[in-house]
Amino acid sequence: MIAHADTIPPARHPLIAWILRWILTTNHKEIGTLYLCFSFLMFIAGGAMAMVFRLELAQPGLQYLGADFYNQMVTLHGLIMVFGAVMPAFVGLANWMIPLMIGAPDMALPRLNNFSFWILPFAFFMLLSSLFMQGGAPNFGWTLYAPLSTTYGPPSTDYLIFGVHLMGISSILGAINIIVTIFNLRAPGMTLMKMPLFVWTWLITAFLLIMVMPVLAGAVTMMLTDRHFGTSFFSAAGGGDPVMFQHVFWFFGHPEVYIMILPGFGIASQIIPTFARKKLFGYNSMVYATASIAFLSFIVWGHHMFTTGMPLVAELFFMYMTMLIAVPTGVKVFNWVATMWRGAMTFETPMLFAVGFVVMFTIGGFSGLMLAIVPADFQYHDTFFVVAHLHYVLYPGAIFAMMGAIYYWLPKWCGNMYNERLGKIHFWTAVFGLNLTFFPMHFAGLGGMPRRIVDYALPFADLNLVSSIGAGILGLTQFLFLYIVVDAVRGGSGKATGQVWDSAEGLEWTLPSPAPLHTFHKPPQVD
Protein backbone atom coordinates (compact mmCIF):
# COMPACT_ATOMS: atom_id res chain seq x y z
CA MET A 1 0.00 0.00 0.00
CA ILE A 2 3.05 2.19 0.29
CA ALA A 3 4.97 2.80 -2.88
CA HIS A 4 8.43 1.38 -2.49
CA ALA A 5 10.76 2.81 -5.04
CA ASP A 6 13.52 0.34 -4.27
CA THR A 7 11.47 -2.67 -5.40
CA ILE A 8 10.65 -1.21 -8.81
CA PRO A 9 13.06 -1.93 -11.62
CA PRO A 10 13.95 1.43 -13.22
CA ALA A 11 13.08 2.68 -16.69
CA ARG A 12 9.66 1.12 -17.13
CA HIS A 13 6.44 2.88 -17.75
CA PRO A 14 5.09 3.61 -14.26
CA LEU A 15 1.80 1.84 -14.95
CA ILE A 16 3.54 -1.31 -16.14
CA ALA A 17 5.87 -1.13 -13.17
CA TRP A 18 2.87 -0.79 -10.87
CA ILE A 19 1.10 -3.76 -12.42
CA LEU A 20 4.23 -5.88 -12.35
CA ARG A 21 4.82 -5.02 -8.74
CA TRP A 22 1.43 -6.37 -7.76
CA ILE A 23 1.72 -9.43 -9.96
CA LEU A 24 5.20 -10.35 -8.80
CA THR A 25 5.01 -9.29 -5.18
CA THR A 26 6.13 -11.76 -2.57
CA ASN A 27 5.48 -9.43 0.34
CA HIS A 28 3.00 -10.88 2.81
CA LYS A 29 1.24 -7.56 3.31
CA GLU A 30 0.74 -6.94 -0.40
CA ILE A 31 -0.40 -10.51 -0.99
CA GLY A 32 -2.75 -10.14 1.95
CA THR A 33 -4.18 -7.02 0.36
CA LEU A 34 -4.60 -8.84 -2.95
CA TYR A 35 -6.46 -11.66 -1.26
CA LEU A 36 -8.74 -9.24 0.57
CA CYS A 37 -9.56 -7.24 -2.55
CA PHE A 38 -10.17 -10.39 -4.56
CA SER A 39 -12.45 -11.84 -1.93
CA PHE A 40 -14.47 -8.64 -1.78
CA LEU A 41 -14.91 -8.74 -5.52
CA MET A 42 -16.16 -12.31 -5.26
CA PHE A 43 -18.37 -11.34 -2.33
CA ILE A 44 -20.04 -8.76 -4.55
CA ALA A 45 -20.35 -11.24 -7.44
CA GLY A 46 -21.89 -13.91 -5.21
CA GLY A 47 -24.08 -11.27 -3.60
CA ALA A 48 -25.33 -10.08 -6.97
CA MET A 49 -26.47 -13.61 -7.72
CA ALA A 50 -28.28 -13.71 -4.40
CA MET A 51 -30.03 -10.46 -5.38
CA VAL A 52 -31.14 -12.11 -8.61
CA PHE A 53 -32.76 -15.11 -6.98
CA ARG A 54 -34.16 -13.15 -4.05
CA LEU A 55 -35.86 -10.93 -6.60
CA GLU A 56 -37.40 -13.99 -8.16
CA LEU A 57 -38.45 -15.32 -4.75
CA ALA A 58 -40.03 -12.05 -3.66
CA GLN A 59 -43.32 -13.25 -5.11
CA PRO A 60 -44.69 -16.72 -5.71
CA GLY A 61 -44.86 -17.85 -9.29
CA LEU A 62 -42.29 -17.40 -12.02
CA GLN A 63 -41.48 -13.78 -12.79
CA TYR A 64 -37.96 -13.29 -14.04
CA LEU A 65 -36.07 -16.56 -14.05
CA GLY A 66 -36.65 -20.05 -15.32
CA ALA A 67 -36.09 -22.97 -13.01
CA ASP A 68 -32.81 -23.87 -14.63
CA PHE A 69 -31.31 -20.39 -14.38
CA TYR A 70 -32.50 -20.12 -10.81
CA ASN A 71 -30.61 -23.30 -10.01
CA GLN A 72 -27.50 -21.99 -11.74
CA MET A 73 -27.65 -18.84 -9.64
CA VAL A 74 -28.03 -20.77 -6.39
CA THR A 75 -25.18 -23.09 -7.30
CA LEU A 76 -22.74 -20.35 -8.26
CA HIS A 77 -23.76 -18.23 -5.28
CA GLY A 78 -22.85 -21.06 -2.91
CA LEU A 79 -19.58 -21.97 -4.62
CA ILE A 80 -18.42 -18.37 -4.95
CA MET A 81 -19.27 -17.39 -1.39
CA VAL A 82 -17.58 -20.45 0.10
CA PHE A 83 -14.48 -20.72 -2.07
CA GLY A 84 -14.21 -17.21 -3.46
CA ALA A 85 -15.30 -14.93 -0.65
CA VAL A 86 -14.98 -16.47 2.80
CA MET A 87 -11.91 -18.65 2.34
CA PRO A 88 -9.68 -16.16 0.47
CA ALA A 89 -10.71 -13.39 2.87
CA PHE A 90 -9.45 -15.40 5.81
CA VAL A 91 -6.28 -16.38 3.94
CA GLY A 92 -5.68 -12.71 3.18
CA LEU A 93 -6.12 -11.84 6.82
CA ALA A 94 -3.73 -14.63 7.78
CA ASN A 95 -1.16 -13.28 5.34
CA TRP A 96 -1.39 -9.80 6.75
CA MET A 97 -1.60 -10.61 10.43
CA ILE A 98 0.17 -13.88 11.23
CA PRO A 99 3.70 -12.59 10.54
CA LEU A 100 2.92 -9.41 12.46
CA MET A 101 1.46 -11.34 15.39
CA ILE A 102 4.30 -13.82 15.77
CA GLY A 103 7.09 -11.36 15.00
CA ALA A 104 8.15 -12.85 11.65
CA PRO A 105 9.61 -10.78 8.79
CA ASP A 106 7.35 -12.45 6.20
CA MET A 107 5.67 -15.75 5.39
CA ALA A 108 8.07 -18.68 5.25
CA LEU A 109 7.49 -19.41 1.56
CA PRO A 110 6.91 -16.04 -0.11
CA ARG A 111 7.02 -17.16 -3.73
CA LEU A 112 4.64 -20.00 -3.10
CA ASN A 113 2.46 -17.39 -1.47
CA ASN A 114 2.38 -15.34 -4.65
CA PHE A 115 1.57 -18.46 -6.66
CA SER A 116 -1.29 -19.55 -4.39
CA PHE A 117 -2.93 -16.19 -4.78
CA TRP A 118 -2.60 -15.90 -8.54
CA ILE A 119 -4.17 -19.30 -9.11
CA LEU A 120 -7.44 -17.97 -7.75
CA PRO A 121 -8.40 -15.45 -10.46
CA PHE A 122 -7.99 -18.20 -13.04
CA ALA A 123 -10.06 -20.64 -11.03
CA PHE A 124 -12.93 -18.19 -10.72
CA PHE A 125 -12.64 -16.99 -14.26
CA MET A 126 -13.19 -20.59 -15.25
CA LEU A 127 -16.10 -21.06 -12.89
CA LEU A 128 -17.83 -17.83 -13.93
CA SER A 129 -17.25 -18.39 -17.63
CA SER A 130 -19.54 -21.41 -17.34
CA LEU A 131 -22.44 -18.93 -17.21
CA PHE A 132 -21.89 -18.15 -20.87
CA MET A 133 -21.53 -21.69 -22.11
CA GLN A 134 -23.98 -23.77 -24.01
CA GLY A 135 -26.20 -25.60 -21.54
CA GLY A 136 -25.57 -22.95 -18.91
CA ALA A 137 -23.63 -22.99 -15.69
CA PRO A 138 -23.66 -25.89 -13.24
CA ASN A 139 -27.11 -26.14 -11.72
CA PHE A 140 -26.92 -28.89 -9.12
CA GLY A 141 -26.14 -26.95 -5.94
CA TRP A 142 -22.81 -26.24 -4.29
CA THR A 143 -22.86 -29.79 -2.93
CA LEU A 144 -22.36 -31.18 -6.46
CA TYR A 145 -24.43 -34.31 -5.80
CA ALA A 146 -24.11 -37.16 -8.25
CA PRO A 147 -25.84 -38.13 -10.49
CA LEU A 148 -27.03 -34.53 -11.03
CA SER A 149 -23.44 -33.51 -11.60
CA THR A 150 -22.35 -36.62 -13.46
CA THR A 151 -25.09 -38.08 -15.67
CA TYR A 152 -27.19 -34.94 -15.82
CA GLY A 153 -24.60 -32.19 -15.39
CA PRO A 154 -24.33 -29.61 -18.18
CA PRO A 155 -21.13 -29.61 -20.25
CA SER A 156 -19.77 -26.66 -18.26
CA THR A 157 -19.47 -28.96 -15.25
CA ASP A 158 -15.99 -29.86 -16.48
CA TYR A 159 -14.93 -26.24 -16.04
CA LEU A 160 -16.29 -26.31 -12.53
CA ILE A 161 -14.26 -29.44 -11.84
CA PHE A 162 -11.08 -27.86 -13.09
CA GLY A 163 -11.84 -24.68 -11.17
CA VAL A 164 -12.31 -26.67 -7.97
CA HIS A 165 -8.97 -28.38 -8.57
CA LEU A 166 -7.29 -25.00 -8.85
CA MET A 167 -8.99 -23.61 -5.75
CA GLY A 168 -7.95 -26.74 -3.90
CA ILE A 169 -4.32 -26.34 -4.91
CA SER A 170 -4.42 -22.70 -3.90
CA SER A 171 -5.83 -23.39 -0.44
CA ILE A 172 -3.50 -26.33 0.18
CA LEU A 173 -0.43 -24.28 -0.73
CA GLY A 174 -1.69 -21.41 1.40
CA ALA A 175 -2.26 -23.77 4.32
CA ILE A 176 1.21 -25.32 4.02
CA ASN A 177 2.70 -21.86 4.02
CA ILE A 178 0.81 -20.84 7.13
CA ILE A 179 1.77 -23.94 9.09
CA VAL A 180 5.42 -23.72 8.11
CA THR A 181 5.48 -20.04 9.04
CA ILE A 182 3.93 -20.61 12.44
CA PHE A 183 6.23 -23.52 13.23
CA ASN A 184 9.45 -21.87 12.14
CA LEU A 185 9.30 -18.11 12.20
CA ARG A 186 8.02 -17.29 15.66
CA ALA A 187 10.01 -14.61 17.48
CA PRO A 188 12.20 -15.82 20.32
CA GLY A 189 10.08 -16.32 23.42
CA MET A 190 6.82 -16.71 21.47
CA THR A 191 5.97 -20.22 22.61
CA LEU A 192 2.98 -22.00 21.12
CA MET A 193 0.87 -21.32 24.19
CA LYS A 194 1.67 -17.61 24.00
CA MET A 195 0.47 -17.23 20.43
CA PRO A 196 -2.52 -14.97 19.89
CA LEU A 197 -5.70 -16.99 19.39
CA PHE A 198 -6.10 -15.83 15.82
CA VAL A 199 -2.81 -17.56 15.05
CA TRP A 200 -3.90 -20.68 16.92
CA THR A 201 -7.23 -20.95 15.15
CA TRP A 202 -5.55 -20.45 11.80
CA LEU A 203 -2.96 -23.12 12.57
CA ILE A 204 -5.75 -25.60 13.23
CA THR A 205 -7.71 -24.41 10.20
CA ALA A 206 -4.65 -24.94 8.01
CA PHE A 207 -4.41 -28.55 9.18
CA LEU A 208 -8.09 -29.04 8.37
CA LEU A 209 -7.46 -27.62 4.90
CA ILE A 210 -4.61 -30.02 4.23
CA MET A 211 -6.71 -32.93 5.39
CA VAL A 212 -9.89 -32.22 3.45
CA MET A 213 -9.21 -30.13 0.36
CA PRO A 214 -7.48 -33.13 -1.29
CA VAL A 215 -10.58 -35.22 -0.55
CA LEU A 216 -12.75 -32.71 -2.41
CA ALA A 217 -10.24 -32.81 -5.25
CA GLY A 218 -10.57 -36.59 -5.24
CA ALA A 219 -14.38 -36.39 -5.30
CA VAL A 220 -14.47 -34.04 -8.29
CA THR A 221 -11.84 -36.16 -10.04
CA MET A 222 -14.14 -39.16 -9.68
CA MET A 223 -16.95 -37.01 -11.05
CA LEU A 224 -14.75 -36.21 -14.03
CA THR A 225 -13.86 -39.83 -14.76
CA ASP A 226 -17.50 -40.86 -14.33
CA ARG A 227 -18.48 -38.21 -16.84
CA HIS A 228 -15.88 -38.96 -19.47
CA PHE A 229 -13.78 -42.02 -18.85
CA GLY A 230 -16.32 -44.76 -18.31
CA THR A 231 -15.84 -45.27 -14.58
CA SER A 232 -18.86 -45.81 -12.34
CA PHE A 233 -17.87 -44.50 -8.95
CA PHE A 234 -21.27 -42.91 -8.49
CA SER A 235 -23.40 -44.73 -11.03
CA ALA A 236 -25.54 -47.59 -9.79
CA ALA A 237 -25.83 -48.97 -13.31
CA GLY A 238 -22.13 -49.74 -13.32
CA GLY A 239 -21.95 -51.05 -9.77
CA GLY A 240 -21.19 -47.72 -8.10
CA ASP A 241 -23.30 -45.83 -5.64
CA PRO A 242 -24.48 -42.21 -5.83
CA VAL A 243 -24.83 -42.12 -2.05
CA MET A 244 -21.09 -42.66 -1.83
CA PHE A 245 -20.63 -39.24 -3.41
CA GLN A 246 -22.42 -37.74 -0.46
CA HIS A 247 -20.16 -39.56 1.96
CA VAL A 248 -17.01 -38.37 0.23
CA PHE A 249 -18.36 -34.85 -0.20
CA TRP A 250 -19.43 -34.43 3.41
CA PHE A 251 -16.24 -35.96 4.69
CA PHE A 252 -14.81 -32.82 3.15
CA GLY A 253 -17.88 -30.67 3.70
CA HIS A 254 -18.29 -30.68 7.42
CA PRO A 255 -14.64 -29.86 8.20
CA GLU A 256 -15.04 -27.24 5.49
CA VAL A 257 -17.74 -25.43 7.44
CA TYR A 258 -15.32 -25.26 10.37
CA ILE A 259 -12.62 -23.99 8.06
CA MET A 260 -15.00 -21.11 7.45
CA ILE A 261 -15.64 -20.40 11.11
CA LEU A 262 -12.49 -21.19 13.15
CA PRO A 263 -10.58 -18.07 11.99
CA GLY A 264 -13.70 -16.13 12.96
CA PHE A 265 -13.47 -17.62 16.46
CA GLY A 266 -9.89 -16.38 16.53
CA ILE A 267 -10.90 -12.87 15.50
CA ALA A 268 -13.57 -12.62 18.18
CA SER A 269 -10.99 -13.77 20.70
CA GLN A 270 -8.70 -10.90 19.65
CA ILE A 271 -11.30 -8.14 19.53
CA ILE A 272 -13.35 -8.84 22.65
CA PRO A 273 -10.47 -8.57 25.20
CA THR A 274 -9.34 -5.28 23.65
CA PHE A 275 -12.69 -3.56 24.09
CA ALA A 276 -13.60 -5.27 27.35
CA ARG A 277 -10.20 -4.18 28.65
CA LYS A 278 -9.62 -7.56 30.23
CA LYS A 279 -7.48 -10.56 29.40
CA LEU A 280 -9.23 -13.25 27.41
CA PHE A 281 -10.97 -15.58 29.82
CA GLY A 282 -9.69 -19.17 29.61
CA TYR A 283 -6.98 -18.94 26.95
CA ASN A 284 -5.96 -22.58 27.35
CA SER A 285 -9.50 -23.88 27.19
CA MET A 286 -9.98 -21.82 24.00
CA VAL A 287 -7.07 -23.62 22.38
CA TYR A 288 -8.24 -27.05 23.48
CA ALA A 289 -11.83 -26.31 22.49
CA THR A 290 -10.71 -25.29 18.99
CA ALA A 291 -8.64 -28.44 18.64
CA SER A 292 -11.49 -30.67 19.79
CA ILE A 293 -13.93 -28.98 17.42
CA ALA A 294 -11.49 -29.66 14.60
CA PHE A 295 -11.12 -33.29 15.62
CA LEU A 296 -14.85 -33.88 16.03
CA SER A 297 -15.59 -32.25 12.69
CA PHE A 298 -14.21 -35.38 11.01
CA ILE A 299 -16.72 -37.74 12.55
CA VAL A 300 -20.02 -35.93 12.14
CA TRP A 301 -20.44 -35.77 8.37
CA GLY A 302 -23.38 -38.15 8.50
CA HIS A 303 -25.64 -35.41 9.89
CA HIS A 304 -26.03 -34.13 6.33
CA MET A 305 -27.27 -37.54 5.24
CA PHE A 306 -29.77 -38.68 7.85
CA THR A 307 -32.45 -39.11 5.21
CA THR A 308 -30.41 -41.29 2.86
CA GLY A 309 -31.48 -44.47 4.61
CA MET A 310 -28.64 -45.00 7.04
CA PRO A 311 -28.90 -47.75 9.61
CA LEU A 312 -30.24 -46.61 12.94
CA VAL A 313 -26.92 -47.08 14.73
CA ALA A 314 -25.17 -44.80 12.27
CA GLU A 315 -27.86 -42.16 12.74
CA LEU A 316 -27.47 -42.37 16.49
CA PHE A 317 -23.69 -42.19 16.25
CA PHE A 318 -23.71 -39.11 14.03
CA MET A 319 -26.42 -37.47 16.10
CA TYR A 320 -24.50 -37.81 19.36
CA MET A 321 -21.17 -36.81 17.83
CA THR A 322 -22.79 -33.72 16.33
CA MET A 323 -24.32 -32.76 19.64
CA LEU A 324 -20.95 -33.30 21.27
CA ILE A 325 -19.51 -30.49 19.11
CA ALA A 326 -21.87 -28.14 20.88
CA VAL A 327 -19.83 -28.68 24.07
CA PRO A 328 -16.50 -27.14 22.94
CA THR A 329 -18.49 -24.54 20.99
CA GLY A 330 -20.35 -23.72 24.19
CA VAL A 331 -17.03 -23.41 26.03
CA LYS A 332 -15.95 -20.77 23.56
CA VAL A 333 -19.18 -18.78 23.80
CA PHE A 334 -18.94 -19.00 27.57
CA ASN A 335 -15.37 -17.69 27.52
CA TRP A 336 -16.27 -14.73 25.32
CA VAL A 337 -19.14 -13.81 27.58
CA ALA A 338 -16.94 -14.27 30.64
CA THR A 339 -14.35 -11.99 29.08
CA MET A 340 -16.96 -9.28 28.68
CA TRP A 341 -18.36 -9.85 32.16
CA ARG A 342 -17.56 -6.85 34.35
CA GLY A 343 -15.19 -5.53 31.73
CA ALA A 344 -14.90 -1.82 31.04
CA MET A 345 -16.61 -2.29 27.72
CA THR A 346 -16.84 0.24 24.93
CA PHE A 347 -18.58 -0.43 21.65
CA GLU A 348 -16.44 0.74 18.78
CA THR A 349 -17.37 -0.82 15.45
CA PRO A 350 -15.04 -3.85 15.71
CA MET A 351 -16.52 -4.67 19.12
CA LEU A 352 -20.06 -4.31 17.77
CA PHE A 353 -19.28 -6.83 15.08
CA ALA A 354 -17.64 -9.17 17.59
CA VAL A 355 -20.58 -9.03 19.97
CA GLY A 356 -22.99 -9.42 17.06
CA PHE A 357 -20.94 -12.43 16.05
CA VAL A 358 -21.26 -14.07 19.45
CA VAL A 359 -24.99 -13.47 19.77
CA MET A 360 -26.11 -14.40 16.29
CA PHE A 361 -23.66 -17.22 15.73
CA THR A 362 -25.19 -18.77 18.82
CA ILE A 363 -28.62 -18.64 17.19
CA GLY A 364 -27.13 -20.60 14.29
CA GLY A 365 -25.62 -23.07 16.74
CA PHE A 366 -29.04 -23.66 18.26
CA SER A 367 -30.71 -24.30 14.93
CA GLY A 368 -27.80 -26.66 14.21
CA LEU A 369 -28.65 -28.59 17.34
CA MET A 370 -32.25 -28.83 16.21
CA LEU A 371 -31.08 -30.20 12.87
CA ALA A 372 -28.87 -32.71 14.61
CA ILE A 373 -31.89 -34.44 16.13
CA VAL A 374 -32.49 -37.29 13.71
CA PRO A 375 -36.29 -37.50 13.76
CA ALA A 376 -36.55 -33.71 13.58
CA ASP A 377 -34.12 -33.55 10.68
CA PHE A 378 -36.41 -35.77 8.62
CA GLN A 379 -38.80 -32.84 8.76
CA TYR A 380 -36.25 -30.02 8.38
CA HIS A 381 -33.91 -31.54 5.84
CA ASP A 382 -33.81 -29.78 2.47
CA THR A 383 -36.09 -27.02 3.68
CA PHE A 384 -35.37 -23.35 4.24
CA PHE A 385 -34.71 -24.17 7.88
CA VAL A 386 -31.34 -25.50 6.79
CA VAL A 387 -30.81 -22.34 4.75
CA ALA A 388 -31.59 -20.25 7.83
CA HIS A 389 -29.16 -22.31 9.91
CA LEU A 390 -26.28 -22.11 7.53
CA HIS A 391 -26.69 -18.39 6.97
CA TYR A 392 -26.87 -17.68 10.70
CA VAL A 393 -23.57 -19.45 11.23
CA LEU A 394 -21.94 -18.06 8.12
CA TYR A 395 -23.14 -14.47 7.87
CA PRO A 396 -22.94 -13.30 11.47
CA GLY A 397 -20.21 -15.92 11.90
CA ALA A 398 -17.71 -15.76 9.10
CA ILE A 399 -18.71 -12.46 7.45
CA PHE A 400 -19.25 -10.44 10.64
CA ALA A 401 -15.99 -11.74 12.07
CA MET A 402 -14.23 -10.74 8.89
CA MET A 403 -15.75 -7.27 8.89
CA GLY A 404 -14.93 -6.80 12.56
CA ALA A 405 -11.36 -7.81 11.75
CA ILE A 406 -11.16 -5.27 8.96
CA TYR A 407 -12.40 -2.43 11.18
CA TYR A 408 -10.03 -3.59 13.91
CA TRP A 409 -6.84 -3.80 11.87
CA LEU A 410 -7.55 -1.35 9.05
CA PRO A 411 -5.96 1.58 10.97
CA LYS A 412 -2.82 -0.54 11.29
CA TRP A 413 -2.85 -1.33 7.58
CA CYS A 414 -3.50 2.10 6.12
CA GLY A 415 -2.53 4.36 8.99
CA ASN A 416 -5.88 6.14 9.18
CA MET A 417 -8.92 5.75 11.36
CA TYR A 418 -12.15 4.86 9.60
CA ASN A 419 -15.25 6.96 10.17
CA GLU A 420 -16.64 5.59 13.42
CA ARG A 421 -20.14 6.95 12.92
CA LEU A 422 -20.50 5.35 9.51
CA GLY A 423 -19.03 2.14 10.90
CA LYS A 424 -21.77 2.00 13.53
CA ILE A 425 -24.43 2.73 10.92
CA HIS A 426 -22.99 -0.06 8.82
CA PHE A 427 -23.20 -2.48 11.72
CA TRP A 428 -26.78 -1.68 12.68
CA THR A 429 -28.11 -1.72 9.13
CA ALA A 430 -26.33 -5.01 8.52
CA VAL A 431 -27.84 -6.51 11.68
CA PHE A 432 -31.25 -5.29 10.63
CA GLY A 433 -30.94 -6.51 7.06
CA LEU A 434 -29.50 -9.83 8.01
CA ASN A 435 -32.17 -10.72 10.53
CA LEU A 436 -34.87 -9.52 8.19
CA THR A 437 -33.46 -11.76 5.49
CA PHE A 438 -32.69 -14.93 7.36
CA PHE A 439 -34.96 -15.06 10.38
CA PRO A 440 -38.18 -15.60 8.40
CA MET A 441 -36.48 -18.50 6.65
CA HIS A 442 -36.70 -20.46 9.89
CA PHE A 443 -40.48 -20.24 9.75
CA ALA A 444 -40.68 -20.92 6.04
CA GLY A 445 -38.57 -24.01 6.61
CA LEU A 446 -40.56 -25.23 9.59
CA GLY A 447 -43.66 -24.76 7.47
CA GLY A 448 -42.14 -27.05 4.87
CA MET A 449 -40.85 -24.73 2.15
CA PRO A 450 -38.24 -26.75 0.26
CA ARG A 451 -34.89 -25.20 -0.63
CA ARG A 452 -33.44 -24.93 -4.15
CA ILE A 453 -36.81 -24.58 -5.85
CA VAL A 454 -37.68 -21.53 -7.88
CA ASP A 455 -41.30 -21.32 -6.81
CA TYR A 456 -43.21 -21.95 -3.61
CA ALA A 457 -46.67 -22.40 -2.20
CA LEU A 458 -48.76 -19.27 -1.58
CA PRO A 459 -48.72 -19.37 2.24
CA PHE A 460 -44.99 -18.62 2.12
CA ALA A 461 -45.43 -15.43 0.13
CA ASP A 462 -45.23 -12.94 3.02
CA LEU A 463 -42.20 -14.55 4.61
CA ASN A 464 -40.38 -14.52 1.31
CA LEU A 465 -41.21 -10.93 0.59
CA VAL A 466 -39.74 -9.95 3.96
CA SER A 467 -36.63 -12.01 3.21
CA SER A 468 -36.21 -10.36 -0.16
CA ILE A 469 -36.53 -6.86 1.29
CA GLY A 470 -33.98 -7.75 3.94
CA ALA A 471 -31.66 -9.10 1.28
CA GLY A 472 -31.87 -5.84 -0.62
CA ILE A 473 -30.95 -3.87 2.49
CA LEU A 474 -28.12 -6.26 3.25
CA GLY A 475 -26.87 -5.89 -0.31
CA LEU A 476 -26.80 -2.10 -0.02
CA THR A 477 -24.82 -2.19 3.22
CA GLN A 478 -21.92 -3.72 1.31
CA PHE A 479 -21.48 -0.50 -0.61
CA LEU A 480 -21.52 1.50 2.60
CA PHE A 481 -18.79 -0.82 3.85
CA LEU A 482 -16.79 -0.34 0.66
CA TYR A 483 -17.17 3.42 1.00
CA ILE A 484 -15.96 3.37 4.62
CA VAL A 485 -12.89 1.34 3.73
CA VAL A 486 -11.97 3.45 0.71
CA ASP A 487 -12.56 6.59 2.73
CA ALA A 488 -10.27 5.34 5.50
CA VAL A 489 -7.53 4.43 3.04
CA ARG A 490 -7.71 7.98 1.63
CA GLY A 491 -7.46 9.70 4.97
CA GLY A 492 -10.60 8.75 6.89
CA SER A 493 -11.03 10.61 10.12
CA GLY A 494 -7.41 11.22 10.88
CA LYS A 495 -4.11 9.47 11.46
CA ALA A 496 -4.02 6.40 13.67
CA THR A 497 -1.41 5.95 16.37
CA GLY A 498 0.75 2.84 16.48
CA GLN A 499 -1.27 1.51 19.38
CA VAL A 500 -4.61 2.36 17.67
CA TRP A 501 -6.82 0.86 20.42
CA ASP A 502 -5.76 1.90 23.89
CA SER A 503 -5.80 -1.55 25.47
CA ALA A 504 -4.99 -3.76 22.50
CA GLU A 505 -2.22 -6.25 23.18
CA GLY A 506 0.06 -8.03 20.77
CA LEU A 507 3.13 -7.49 18.64
CA GLU A 508 1.27 -5.88 15.77
CA TRP A 509 0.51 -2.84 17.95
CA THR A 510 4.19 -2.26 18.70
CA LEU A 511 4.64 -1.26 15.05
CA PRO A 512 3.92 2.17 13.64
CA SER A 513 0.71 2.75 11.67
CA PRO A 514 0.65 2.21 8.75
CA ALA A 515 2.78 -0.88 9.20
CA PRO A 516 5.88 -0.43 7.03
CA LEU A 517 6.24 -2.81 4.09
CA HIS A 518 9.04 -4.66 5.83
CA THR A 519 8.68 -5.38 9.51
CA PHE A 520 10.42 -7.46 12.16
CA HIS A 521 13.62 -7.97 10.21
CA LYS A 522 15.16 -8.13 13.62
CA PRO A 523 12.86 -10.45 15.56
CA PRO A 524 11.33 -8.82 18.64
CA GLN A 525 11.88 -10.41 22.02
CA VAL A 526 8.74 -11.75 23.64
CA ASP A 527 8.74 -12.36 27.34
Partner 1 sequence: MTDRQTDRQARLRRHTTLLAVAAVGMFGFAFALVPLYNIFCEITGLNGKTSGEAAPMAVSAPASQTAQDAVEREVTIQFLSQVSRGMPWEFRPTESRMRVRLGEVAETQYYARNFANKLFTGQAVPSVTPGYAARYLHKVECFCFTQQHLEASEEIDMPVYFYVGEDLPSDIGTLTLSYTMYPVSSAARETSGAAEQTTETMPMDHSEHSVP
The single residue among 71, 274, 335, 349 that binds partner 1, judged by CB under 8 A, is 71
**Annotated catalytic residue 304:** yes
Interaction partner, residue 452 (Cu ion, partner 1, ligand HEM, none; CB < 5-8 Å by kind) = partner 1
Task: Give the chain's largest Cα–Cα span.
Answer: 72
- Tell me which of Cu ion, partner 1, ligand HEM, none is bound by residue 218, counting a contact when its beta carbon lies within the kind-specific cut-off of 5 to 8 angstroms: partner 1
Question: Applying CB under 8 A, does 317 fall inside the site for partner 1?
Answer: no
Q: How far is the CB of 259 from Cu ion (least distance, A)?
A: 12
Q: Which stretch binds ligand HEM (CB under 6 A): 253-261, 415-423, 468-476, 483-491?
A: 253-261
Give the Cα separation of 464 and 428 in Å (integer).
Answer: 22
- The Cα 245–Cα 389 span in angstroms is 23
Catalytic residue among 304, 381, 389, 391: 304
254 is an active site residue: yes
3 state SS of 141: coil
Window 218 to 247, contacts with ligand HEM (CB under 6 A) = none
Phi, psi of 416 (to 5 degrees): -125, 150
Rounded alpha-carbon distances, angstroms, from residue 309 to 172, 237, 254, 302, 317: 34, 19, 19, 11, 14
Q: What is the spatial distance between Cα 360 and Cα 164, in angstroms, rounded to a whole number?
A: 30
254 or 278: CB nearest partner 1: 254
Decide which of ligand HEM, Cu ion, partner 1, none touches 113; Cβ closer than 5 to 8 Å per partner kind: none
The CB-side HSE value for 280 (13 A sphere, CA atoms) comes to 26
Q: Which ranges of 103-156 does DSSP label H, i.e. alpha helix?
A: 110-129
Site for ligand HEM in 275-304 (CB under 6 A): 303-304
Position 291, amino acid:
A
Please confirm, yes or no, whether 329 is among the known catalytic residues: yes
Name the segment binding partner 1 (CB under 8 A); options: 234-242, 324-332, 361-369, 468-476: 234-242
CA 503 to chain centre: 28
Q: Round to whole Å and give the CA distance between 347 and 318.
A: 40
Quick note: the x/- pattern for partner 1 over 395-434, rule CB under 8 A, is ----------------------------------------
Output the CA torsion 458→460→462→463 (10° steps): -170
Please choose, out of 241-249, 253-261, 416-424, 504-512, the segment that lies near Cu ion by the rule CB under 5 A: 253-261
What mask of x and - would describe binding to partner 1 in positions 458 to 487, judged by CB under 8 A? ------------------------------
Find the shortest distance in angstroms from Cβ 146 to partner 1.
11
Category of 492 on φ-ψ map: left (φ > 0), alpha (ψ -120 to 50) or beta: left
The reply to whether 365 sits near ligand HEM by the rule CB under 6 A is yes
C-alpha 45/C-alpha 305 separation (Å) is 30
**Positions in the binding site for ligand HEM (CB under 6 A):** 143, 257, 260-261, 303-304, 322, 325-326, 329, 365, 368-369, 371-372, 377, 380-381, 386, 389-390, 393-394, 397-398
